[in-house]
Each structure stands twice: as structure tokens, then as C-alpha cells.
Amino acid sequence: MKSTTSFIFLIGLKLCAISGTSNLIERVCQSSEDKNLCYSTYNNAQKADLNGLAMIGLNQASGNATAILKYVQERMGQPNLEPLVQQGLIDCANLYQDAVDQVDDSIAALEADAFKDV
């Protein structure tokens, strides 16, 4: 989870720091903490520009965060949860909902070329 989180939040910064179009994926992934995750994320994006790579990363982050949120919400529905566990799941769900909302806002900002808001 740590490497995925680091990848998701740092990829935008790394994409913004890279200029030019020659072999962007190689350049981005060489500076990533988890090169295998990076290459697998961008495997089919050989012709993407910086905006395209950023959109792929944001969509991946949105999908992952949404899946985790759904998983946590399913666990919240289990019967006979201890109050402390129930509260932990509620807190986790709230944090993931915030993350989903922020990533989705970043996708909208990228689509609108509002790069400072991404």
C-alpha cells in the first residue's frame, strides 16, 4: 500500500517536472519508487503525452481508492463488530471518500487544463 500511495501522489509532481516528449514513460518510471508498478500502469500508453500520462495515473488512483472505499464499506456492514472496529472503519471510509473526491477533482482540473488545481 505504501508504494502505491507514494506512486499515486508523487507521479503528478514527477510528470510536471519532465519536459519534452522522448520516452516519457521511461523517464517517469526511472524516478519512481516502484518501477514495476509504474511500468505496469503505463504499459499501454506509449504514445501518451504528459497530460495523457497524468490522466492515466489519476484514473488509476481513482479506481484504486474507489475499490478500497467499497471494500471498507462492505466490512462496515458486518454484524457484531466491536464499537472500536466500527469506528475505525467509519474513519477509514471517510478518509477514502475524501481521497476519491480529491482525485476526481484533479481529473476534472486536468481536463480543464487547470494544472495548478490538479
- Provide the 3-class DSSP secondary structure of residue 22: coil
Q: What span, in angstroms and rounded, lies between the C-alpha atoms of 5 and 27?
A: 20
Beta strands per DSSP E along the chain:
none
- Which residues have CB under 8 Å from 1's CB, separation 6+? none
Burial of 54: CB neighbours in 10 Å, binned 0-12, 13-18, 19+: buried
Among all chains, which residue has been given the C-alpha cell 506509449?
46
Task: Kindly give the confidence (pLDDT) of every residue in the chain, 118 residues in length, as a single tens digit, with 9 standing for 90 and above.
Answer: 444 544 554 555 455 454 443 478 888 888 888 989 888 888 877 778 888 889 999 999 999 999 999 999 999 999 999 999 999 999 999 999 999 999 999 999 999 999 999 9
Query: Where exactly are the structural domains of the chain?
Result: 20-112
**Which pTM value belongs to this model?**
0.74
